[in-house]
A = this chain, B = another copy of it.
């Protein structure tokens, strides 16, 4: 891209930019901080669909009053290996920040533990939620429900969300093995970007509003996406629906869709995090789990053209640290407008008085 069409920003500049826009729209600092950080880390890892672009939806759901801009997440220990954070109708990253240390401690003590984030809005990259857990030497999962736009395998209508699964595996002195993918044929954010870029979809990704196969991103967004991998991906999507919904007392994606007011923000919903300690699991054994796993990764590397799930993100992160992040000027202009005084007058959260931080 030419210099005239993009602006190069450092990772810290992206974070500051996002933080300021969120704050300008009345989001409490303890909410805006973790969100802006997640956005910058995601943008730096090359995941534009979960980067700065998401500010539009964040701001939309703050301005519509659907999300509590002053939310105070509450932590609760329910059982030896199960904790919960009530997000107070705010965004998920601050709820995650309040509970993740207790999750790590419980997994290190009991071998395995789970943390539910409830009553909140998840709109950032799921893999980022695993970072502190995998950095603590734990294997982990995260499950959350995406917007309800996926038909089951063989179906014609929306039933499930895009329902991503993220998994992390700790590696000594190396960046962790982490994957994070939608159980739909493609993430909703990617389809939106394809639509903005005027691209067509591969076959088998979506159906239109009448349930017929379509290659048009807009038609699929109006109809439904299909799961990846046929009946197996469909079963996994249903699993995520159950785990991040009823399992933790949260709505299914279809139920959550009923609360959508079209402000472009995320659906209400929860997130389930699970952490496991390979060190505890290997108690009394040879404890060579790291060597075994590294042998497996080294084996994989001997096949030409093989990429491990997190390779692309790690490489993008290195480039971003060295050369900065190229952000399209059209996007920056659009985002800057989100802080214009004229628009800010209509921000409900700004009328709520001084923030409780």
Contacts and interface: CB of A to CB of B under 8 A. Distances in A.
A299 B81 contact: no
A112 B114 contact: yes
Given A281-B248, A292-B246, A305-B154, A299 B254 contact: yes
B252 A111 contact: no
Contact of A109 (B80, B242, B276): B80
A240 to B, nearest CB: 10
Copies of the chain in the assembly: 2
Given A181-B235, A292-B255, A78 B309 contact: no
Interface residues of A, number: 76
Interface in A92-115: 109-114
Nearest to A180: B235
A276 B306 contact: no
Given A235-B181, A289-B247, A155 B229 contact: no
B249 A282 contact: yes
B274 A116 contact: no
Given A78-B283, A81-B80, A247 B276 contact: yes
Nearest to A297: B238
Contacts of A285: 118, 249
A190 B38 CA distance: 44
Given A292-B246, A305-B154, A284 B76 contact: yes
A229 B231 contact: no
B247 A278 contact: yes
Interface of A: 76, 78-82, 84, 109-114, 116, 118, 139, 151-152, 154-157, 159, 167, 169, 177, 179, 181, 183, 228-233, 235, 238-239, 241-243, 245-249, 251-252, 254-255, 274, 276, 278, 280-290, 292-293, 295-296, 299-300, 303, 305-309
A246 B309 contact: no
Contacts of A276: 114, 247
Contacts of A293: 242, 245-246
Given A78-B284, A139-B243, A235-B309, A254 B296 contact: yes
Contact of A230 (B80, B81, B228, B246): B228
A296 B247 CA distance: 12
Given A228-B232, A292-B252, A280 B82 contact: yes
Contacts of A179: 235, 239
Contacts of A232: 181, 183, 228-229, 233
- Max count, chain B CB within 10 A of own CB: residue among A78, A243, A246, A255: A246
A95 to B, nearest CB: 15
A246 B289 contact: yes
A82 to B, nearest CB: 3
A36 to B, nearest CB: 29
Nearest to A274: B112
Contacts of A82: 110-112, 280-281
A290 B109 contact: no
Contacts of A229: 228-230, 232-233
A292 B181 contact: no
14 contacts: A79-B110, A139-B243, A139-B247, A159-B296, A169-B239, A177-B238, A181-B231, A246-B288, A248-B282, A249-B281, A249-B286, A249-B288, A255-B292, A255-B295
